[in-house]
Amino acid sequence: MLSLFRKRRFSPQHYAAYNAIVAQSRQPRFYAEWGVPDTVTGRFDMISLHMALLLRRLRDHSDETRQFSQSLFDLFFTDMDRSLREAGTGDISVPKRIQKMGALFYGLLEKLNAALDSGDAAELAAVLRRNLVDENAEPAALDKFVAYVFSADRALAGIEMSDLLGGSVTFPGVET
């Protein structure tokens, strides 16, 4: 987290990867049909999900990959900091909110990794229900969301590491 406060420039590859995450996170189906609240928190949660999926793919690789992951994480929270300030959050409150957002992100990342590593759809559904969808989400919609997350994990696993490090991040379509 301390790396957030260092002055740094992000590469075009970092921006390309982050923009792909944000663009995917804005897919209307997540909010209109799959039970993710269309709120600031819901949108943060969707960016967190897609960031976690990409960081999962980048884990346990070379120093270059770890540095890319760290810079991508830093860009994510630099953007969250900027968004909070633009929304009028006071300077004193921003670090506390960022710290809380970081804790939520790491909790999601840990639970998502466990569910995907086990391949357990019920466990993944529980993670999504706890962290992303509202309590009134239809079971059929949650099933589609679970299938999407498994599909996104497989899609990212199929992308060459050199392409990912070059900022070429693609997620699967959001099917009905």
Residue range 124-167, pLDDT digits in tens: 999 999 999 988 889 999 999 999 999 999 999 999 999 999 99
User: Could you give the dihedral angle defined by the CA atoms of residues 101, 17, 40 and 126, in that order, rounded to the nearest 10 degrees?
Assistant: -70
| Single pTM value for the model | 0.89
Report residue 175: phi and psi, to 5°: -80, 160
First to last CA, the chain: 38
Whether pLDDT at 1 is above 60: no
Sign of torsion, CA 6 113 22 26? Answer: negative
Model confidence at 89, in pLDDT bands (50, 70, 90)? Answer: low
User: Percent of the chain scored above 90 by pLDDT?
Assistant: 70
Assign 120 to helix, strand or coil. Answer: coil
Structure token pair of residue 146: 């679970």
Residue with tokens 């060459």: 160
